[in-house]
Amino acid sequence: MLTAALTIAVSISFPNAHAHEVETAGDVGATMHIEPSDTPRAGEEVLAWFAIARPGGQTIPLANCDCTLAVYAQPQDQPREGKMPNLTPAFAAVETEGYQDIPGARFTFPDVGTYTLVVSGQPKQADDFTPFELDFETTVASGTPVSQVPTDAEAAIPSSSNPAVAAPATEVAFGKWAMVGVGVVALMAIATVLFQRSK
């Protein structure tokens, strides 16, 4: 009973703890996050970023990696091998959630469904890290039809005059702390009930 209560309290306190997907290949691992809130919607621009790291957690900056991103629509009954990617958005350096100079790309999923995001990378300096290919899967919900996406969405894409894109952290920070507070209160209430029952 106590284990179930703690699981519920932790789930309430940290709702996005499971949201970042982690994949590994050889001696390289990466965490993927899609803004906003790991809930991409068809026809709406997203920022997908990848914190790529060596063993021990040392981040590999985009400046040291010849990284590419390919996005594939994935019908459940067909493998992606031999298929052309639906999208090949360019990476730009982003700063978010304490990471700096990590690969990120802005793009729009055209349709609802399951997609595979394939991140490939080779070191710009020999032997800096092992070349890798990492596959991340995400499900895209319904949203704004692509034909209704405003044309000024392109203005948010990084360029030489705006090389780094920062994800909005302040809006998310308050919500996370509020959820932590709710979780702590819930945990204290559960502990009080369990303590009183044991008397």
pLDDT in tens, 111-144: 999 999 999 999 999 989 999 999 999 999 998 7
115 forms bridges with which residues in the sheet?
A: 73, 138
pLDDT in tens, 61-71: 999 999 999 99
Residue type, 114: T
Cβ pair 81, 151 in contact under 8 A:
no
70 forms bridges with which residues in the sheet?
A: 118
Tokens 């691992």: give the residue.
29
* Lowest-pLDDT range of 31-45, 109-123, 173-187: 173-187
CA–CA gap between residue 121 and residue 107 (Å, rounded): 19
Mean pLDDT, range 134-158, rounded to an integer: 68
Q: Which residue has the higher pLDDT, 83 or 5?
A: 83
User: In terms of C-beta density within 10 A (0-12 exposed, 13-18 middle, 19 or more buried), how is residue 178 classed?
Assistant: exposed
Selected from 2.60.40.3340, 3.40.640.10, 2.60.40.1940, 2.40.70.10, the CATH number assigned to the domain covering 20-172 reads 2.60.40.3340
* pTM metric for this prediction: 0.63
Residue 85 vs residues 96, 100, 104, 140: alpha-carbon distances, Å: 27, 28, 18, 16
User: In terms of C-beta density within 10 A (0-12 exposed, 13-18 middle, 19 or more buried), how is residue 166 classed?
Assistant: exposed
